[in-house]
Amino acid sequence: GAGVSQSPSNKVTEKGKDVELRCDPISGHTALYWYRQSLGQGLEFLIYFQGNSAPDKSGLPSDRFSAERTGGSVSTLTIQRTQQEDSAVYLCASSLVGDSNQPQHFGDGTRLSIL
């Protein structure tokens, strides 16, 4: 099935390195969301893309975090100069727009570990 696809599944890197996480949403879903979830915690909203509109970046925790969505489909979340507190699962979700009864669909997430 063509669900939300995220890569890599796991990423281990050293503190101070940059990382790039990828999300491929469900075909036809123009809304794309990034969340972060630390162990035992709830979802933390990071950023939201909707079509060609300016993204809602209100959840990005610092200027080390940025995201792009090229061509209205695939998105990449970049974390520069990673810190240990960046360790978490990064979840991407997509949804249809135009029908408020549509839910979000999540990818499997990228488990990021900063050493």
Tell me the C-alpha distance between 92 and 75, whole Å.
Answer: 9
Nearest 10 degrees: CA dihedral of 71, 47, 2, 7?
Answer: 90
Residues 61-100 that bind another protein (CB under 8 A): 89, 91, 93, 95, 97, 100
7 belongs to the binding site for another protein (CB under 8 A): no
Least CB distance to another protein at residue 80 (A): 25
Residues 9-68 that bind another protein (CB under 8 A): 31, 33, 41-43, 45, 48, 50, 56
CB atoms within 10 A of CB 21: 21
109 belongs to the binding site for another protein (CB under 8 A): yes
